[in-house]
Structure 1
Amino acid sequence: MTVAGLKHYAGEVICNMENREQMNIVIVGHVDHGKSTVIGRLLADTGSLPEGKLESVKEYCRKNSRPFEYAFLLDALKDEQAQGITIDTARCFFKTNKRDYIIIDAPGHIEFLKNMVTGASRAEAALLVIDANEGIKENSKRHGHIVSMLGIKQVVVLVNKMDLVDFDRDVFNSITEEFTEFLNKININPINFIPISAFNGDNVAEKSCETPWYDGHTVLMQLDSFANRKEDIQLPFRMPVQDIYKFTEENDHRRIVAGTILSGTIKAGDEVVFLPSKKKSVINSIEGFNVNSAEKAGVGQAIGVTLKTQIYIKSGELMVRADEIQPVLSSRFRVNIFWVGKFPLIKNKDYKLKIGTSRITVKLAEILNIIDAAELNINTYKDQVERHDVAECILETVKPIAFDPISHMELTGRFVIVDNYEISGGGIILESVSDKGSTLHHNIGKSEFFWEKGLVSSNMREDLYGHKAKFVVLTSGNEEYEQSIHKIGKELEFKLFKSNYTTYYLGIASHTSDSSDRDSQIRQIGELAILFADAGHIFITSVFNLDDYEAEKLKLLNQTHEIKIVNIGESPFDSFVPDADINYSDIGGVVDSLCELIKNYNKNGVEELWDRSITRN
């Protein structure tokens, strides 16, 4: 066959495959256990080789007095690739009546594992090849670990070279029993064990008369029985929020939430939820650049949406439909990560995790096991992840994030880790992990300082100043009050100061570059509050759109002092209950209400005053 003809054939195969269902599979096995022979046999028996290729390889072997091996077919394809013919031996294709298959492989374990663990490639099923004559080798177990770490659930074991043991049923059963026990220990439940001879074709494409005792599927039948992943458009709707645009000219009051749809579809009238804030609204319109509004949108489209109810959300949130399966919200999760950083990944160091459009501080909490990608050595005792290691570990973020486990959805289950402004690792999220105690308590506990205090007690300061120390936090979920709460805090400080209260105001800027900066500022303001409260002051801060996690964090940081969280107008909280709610009228009115609250409390010591809602018209 000419080079041009082969190129034309390859093009036809690819073109035809684009119109049919595809499934990615991975085939792994110990050296000389027959993995390449299995692949060659699948290509030959399904008619997926270039025309005349099988015959030409057999003729070459005859002329050179070499026994023919189906593995030679892969070598021949590699030779043609070296001559410039576009056949990718790292992605072999074969087809059945049901679907087309792509065998994901790569030259070298490092490249293969990097692609698989970072999500650049994704396999829906795995075939593990074991030599019936040699039995289970250490490398067989290593490959089992790899399949487990990749999160592949559809696993079938091919017990190859059964002809070398005379198709002995006892040999097959012994391998099945031993390897099943091992796989179960690493969280793999194999779907089937198939006795085959890849060289002779037994139980590959056709049932073999050599194994009357086996009544299960052939390899091809088993592959066709696998469940394939859904197309992105069939999956639940997911759109990471890229930005929020506001318009002020020509009386245009729209707020457009912009992003690119990763999966599913959305239409006007759909109720949506933004995560992790859990805020809800309804799609009013779907906008595009320089085009008319659309009724619906789907996968891959970069869109903007307007909402019927104006809510305050931030870039980095994940927009989902309320009537579909929701993502997971968690701050601890089990992951597989491929590390390429200049420095090792170590425990208890702050890194940046990027998932979707979100960026958040993350720590390595626990290492479960590590595979050296070059040597496939498995280590469960290392305390850091080196360059080119694949690690199964537990990561912990400073607050919950929204994600889908990789087994459910790919695009919202992938992440990268940034260290010193460089992408140093990538990986996939396998599942949420329950907290070992409160993550919030854990994070705060690690930052406690032990100071040497002076001789002046809090009671002595209270007697001198004539009031109790207190930490007052002002917040609001109304976007139009974003600047007002800062003005209220300043006016409150001034009015209390004029009334001989020892007070100090310090607010948090509303706009920070990412959630990591925001979390750092929340911690800093909480720690400053401890110092001011120790000094007997009424410390006032204003934090726009405080969420449940941030409020709880401030409460925990200041649990030895009085802290009062006051919401003004619409509440930003999901379930957290503030100490007081004040309806906004004007700045002066709100300041008067707050002063009344503080003065009455300090005069009477009546805690109940903080538990009632105050409305000032």
Structure 2
Amino acid sequence: MHFSTSEEVLPIVVIGHVDHGKSTLIGRLLFDTGSVPEGKAEELARAAAAEGMPFEHAFLLDSLLEEQAQNVTIDTTEIRFRTKKRRYAIIDAPGHKEFLKNMLSGAARAHAAVLVVDAQEGVREQTRRHAMLLPILGIQHIIVAVNKMDLVDFSEGRYREIAGALAALFQELGLPEPTSLPLSARNGENIVQPSVQMPWHIGGPLLEALDSVPSPPGLDALPLRFAVQDVYRRGTERLIAGRVETGTLRVGDDLLFWPGRKRARLRSFAEWPTETTPTEASAGRSTALILEEEIFVERGMIGSSLEKTPIEAREFPAKIFWLGPDPLRVGENYELRLVTQSVGARVMEVDRVIDAETLSVQDSCKPGVEANEIAEVLVRTQQPLALDNASEIAQTGRFILAREGRILGGGIVLGARYPRASLPPIQSSPLFWTEGEIDRNERARAQGHGGAILWFTGLSGAGKSTLAFQLEAQLFRRGIWAYVLDGDNLRHGLSSDLGFSAQDRRENIRRAAEAARILADAGSVAIVALISPFRADRRKAREIAEAAGIPFREIFVHAPLDVCRARDPKALYIRAERGEISEFTGVDSPYEIPEAAELALPTHELSPAECLETLTKITLEAIALPNRPSLREDPAANI
């Protein structure tokens, strides 16, 4: 047989009910394509004879005599072979339910699957479970091999019956109809060559079906994704070091860095020795970029082209596989790692939990996910992430969940939406952000905590300023730098030139957000207390913070309008009702309730002490440094 010199390798997983002949099928495929190492078959035949059993092609996969005696494949095995078209990595995955965890680890690497069904037994419950599992793992190309046709006298009627049942099953599961074909692995019928025993089958042998599976796109052909690992200084130049995960990057290309959509043009690469510095870099290359524009870029950001961009989101649907000794609980904090990004995350909803051992499905919502369960979940992160659906770009669509450095589970992003938004222009202003010799991380290490912005929003009289100043005092007594930017105080100075028109109010919020960003960049906890009634303005404040990599927490301080009126320490409601104050929120101007605030405090139900305790907790979580124990509740412990 003439083999191709192409280096393309297509991973295929072979699964099916136990005893339906998976290992025999693979062994025969290897044997008939000349892919068995010389002398291997003879060696295994002698070993089988020593054990008093006839030689089986399945022994080619089973390296342990204990497994041969049980006639059960225990571990996932990967075998390479080649055809005239390309190379293959065949993954033989266990069929017993107690080995399904191993099967999952194998199937996760596969591009296509061969589902083996016994012609005598037909479609079994585990066949159904496997068919349901494959698309969850992102496998779209499925070949069904109806095996052991020799045991039903190569009956066309029996094959048509099983193929029809399989087509109905896939339709029921909402899957595309698979490619089905009859064969006999033991006899070598319809494996490499068409079967003389089944002339009625005109679809070609298994090898032809495998070669017909479309090849996955090469990483260079995928949209550009450049993962930023760190940023360095070389004289006056800023070097953005990272790795081209997918796509190709060339000098002169316009780039967007996510999250935040910072736009700049690539001036050159920076590598050593300089004479080997390229003018383009393809997938898999680690390099450093020098940009023409001075923009803020830091570790964790993802660079893309202007056309095919990633998703920027704080909330996205995913499928996860949980391995932790303790169940994953809805609402608990975990660390989510995706490429070089690392953020706090919570699972907000759990749906369609699948037991990896039995593959039974629970459609109703659950409070968590047990070990070895697969689940469809909704993930919410503390900061925006740049990501892709795993079906589009696996490199930026896979993530892990961890706690205290221990990996507890993995997941893939599926079903997230790619928004279409206008792109920022290339920065042409002569003004640049100037960086000093002391960066934010150095300040945080010196102070023992990072900076953050806590944005208090709510009606006048809800208790924003009261709680803001109480929190400031509480943090200060703990040795944590904090400062309140109160709405009235800002009007005395920074925003003294502004009135109360809609445009002026929007500008007042922008100025407050920019001032808070500078305070947080210096390492302080900036506590902003503004009514800020409109979601769009609060969203803009969040974008200002998160574009600079600063944690932002929206705090909705609320009470019924009549309670706020009764409190009214400055008689503002009375003055507004008299017409002395126009467009006053709650009287003649609306307030838009936050849709995704990190914290809501009903001050008519909670005591000030209870509110302060909750505020302190969310603040300490926001400013805790990575790889350090969280700040303790005892103020003296942080001195």
TM range, smaller chain = 0.5 to 0.7
Residue 347 (str. 1) matches residue 330 (str. 2): yes
> In 2, are the aligned partners of 1:285 and 1:305 still within 8 Å (CA)?
yes
Q: Distance in 1 between matches of 2:316 and 2:158?
A: 40
Asked if 1 retains the 8 angstrom alpha-carbon contact of 2:353 and 2:362, the reply is yes
Query: Structure 1: which amino acid aligns with 2:243?
Result: T
Residues 399-447 of structure 1: CA distance to partner in whole angstroms, max 9, x if unpaired?
6532222222221111111235532211222331699xxxxxxxxxxx9
Structure 1 residues 554 and 392 mapped into 2: Cα distance closer, same or farther (>3 Å)?
closer
Equivalent residues of 2:224, 2:304 under 8 A apart: yes
Paired letter, 2:201: Y
In 2, distance between residues paired with 1:105 and 1:365? 36
Show structure 2 runs of 5+ residues with no match. 69-74, 420-455, 467-483, 500-507, 534-539, 561-578, 585-639
CA apart distance, 1:200:
1.1
Question: What is the CA–CA distance in structure 2 between the aligned matches of 1:427 and 1:203, rounded to whole Å?
Answer: 38
* Secondary structure in 1 matching 2:415: strand
Within 5 Å, give how 1:228-247 maps onto structure 2. 228-246=215-233
Deviation, 1:334, is: 3.4
Query: How many angstroms apart in 2 are the aligned matches of 1:430 and 1:48?
Result: 37
Give the letter for the 2:30 counterpart.
Answer: L
CA displacement at 1:214 relative to structure 2: 1.7
Deviation at 1:238, TM superposition (A): 1.1
Letter in 1 for 2:322: W
User: Following the alignment from structure 1 to structure 2, what is the Cα–Cα distance between the partners of residues 179 and 394?
Assistant: 32
Instruction: State whether residues 133 and 165 of structure 1, in contact with CA within 8 Å, keep that contact through their aligned partners in structure 2.
Output: yes
Cα 1:311–1:450 change in 2 (3 A) is closer
Amino acid at match of 1:388: N
Is the partner of 1:177 in helix, strand or coil? helix
Change (3 A) 1:496 1:54: closer
1:387 aligned onto 2:371: yes
Measured in 2, the distance between the counterparts of 1:277 and 1:345 equals 30
Aligned to 1:569: none
- The equivalent of 2:623 in structure 1 is none
Give me the whole-angstrom Cα distance separating, in 1, the residues matched to 2:558 and 2:237: 42
Gaps spanning 5+ residues in structure 1: where? Answer: 1-15, 83-87, 436-446, 462-485, 534-540, 562-601, 608-617
In structure 2, do the counterparts of structure 1 residues 282 and 80 end up closer, same or farther at CA, with 3 Å as the change threshold? farther
Q: Which of the residues 392, 408, 411 maps onto 1:424?
A: 408
Structure 2 letter corresponding to 1:130: V
Q: Distance in 2 between matches of 1:347 and 1:210?
A: 56
- Asked if the contact 2:22–2:92 (Cα under 8 Å) also holds between the matched residues in 1, the reply is no
Task: Mark the CA change 1:220 to 1:406 in structure 2 (over 3 Å): closer, same or farther.
Answer: same
Contact 1:162/1:197 (8 A) holds in 2: yes
* CA 1:450–1:40: 2 relative to 1, 3 Å: farther
Query: Is 1:97 aligned with 2:84?
Result: yes
Change (3 A) 1:421 1:554: closer
Whole-Å separation in 1 of the counterparts to 2:382 and 2:231: 24
Question: Which AA in structure 1 matches 2:363?
Answer: T
CA contact (8 A) 2:462 2:557 kept: no
Q: Which residue of the other structure, out of 47, 66, 74, is the alignment partner of 2:61?
A: 74
Distance (whole Å) between structure 1 residues aligned to residue 126 and residue 542 of structure 2: 56
SS in 1 for 2:29: helix
1:483 counterpart residue number: none
Aligned partner of 1:111 among 86, 90, 102: 102
Task: State the shift of 1:114 in Å.
Answer: 4.1
Shift of residue 493, structure 1, vs aligned partner = 6.8
Alignment match of 1:38 (pick from 22, 25, 28): 25
Deviations 1:272-328 (A, max 9, x none): 1112322222101111256355322233332221222222334322101225x3323
Give the conservation status (yes or no) of the 8 Å contact 2:79–2:89: yes
**Whole-Å separation in 2 of the counterparts to 1:385 and 1:544:** 33
CA deviation digits over 1:522-562, x for unaligned, max 9? xx845x445x99xxxxxxx99894469999x999958999x
Distance 2:185 2:339 in 1: 43
Given candidates 230, 253, 263, the residue that maps to 1:270 is 253
Distance 2:337 2:165 in 1: 41
How many aligned residue pairs are there? 478
- Give % identity: 32
2:245 counterpart SS class: coil
Please tell me the residue identity of whatever aligns with 1:47. G
Please report how far the alpha carbon of residue 140 of structure 1 lies from its aligned counterpart in structure 2 after TM superposition: 0.9
Q: Which residue of 1 aligns with 2:209?
A: 222
Q: How does 1:85-484 map to 2 (within 5 A)?
A: 90-105=77-92, 108-114=99-105, 116-117=107-108, 122-246=109-233, 252-289=235-272, 291=274, 293-323=277-307, 325-381=308-364, 382-398=366-382, 400-432=384-416
Aligned-residue CA RMSD (Å) = 4.7
